Amino acid sequence: MSRQITAAELAEIVKRLLTGDLGQELSPLKYSLLMTYLADTVCSFCGGKIPHLATAMDDTWYVGIHRNKDMPDDGGVWAGYDDEGDLIEDRTRPRNI
């Protein structure tokens, strides 16, 4: 029989993977891909797009969220983060990740 996990348990696993508290260290490439894929998944359901892979700057990882037609005018789920950043319309070709 397969293991069954709840939404809260899945959220905990993802949080612990991203914060390094799971005891399973990811290579920088795998970490970048995980962070990018997770943000892209949220974009698929809530609006926005990810044109570039997540990158580390000054020991902190970032992924850029750009506006698309599916994002609410107020920024939706992304509105409460990075007050200095803009949710600009990205006119580059979307990345196939």
For 10-55, the pLDDT digits (tens) are 999 999 999 988 888 899 999 999 999 999 999 999 999 999 999 9
For 26-37, the pLDDT digits (tens) are 999 999 999 999
Q: What torsion, rounded to 10 degrees, do the Cα atoms 78, 81, 85, 91 define? A: -20
pTM summary value: 0.82
**Amino acid type, 23:** G
Q: Can you tell me the distance from the alpha carbon of 27 to that of 50, in angstroms, rounded to the nearest whole number? A: 21
Containing 38, the helix (H) or strand (E) segment is: helix 28-46
Containing 53, the helix (H) or strand (E) segment is: none
For 63-76, the pLDDT digits (tens) are 999 999 999 989 99
Give yes or no for residue 92 having a pLDDT over 70.
Answer: no
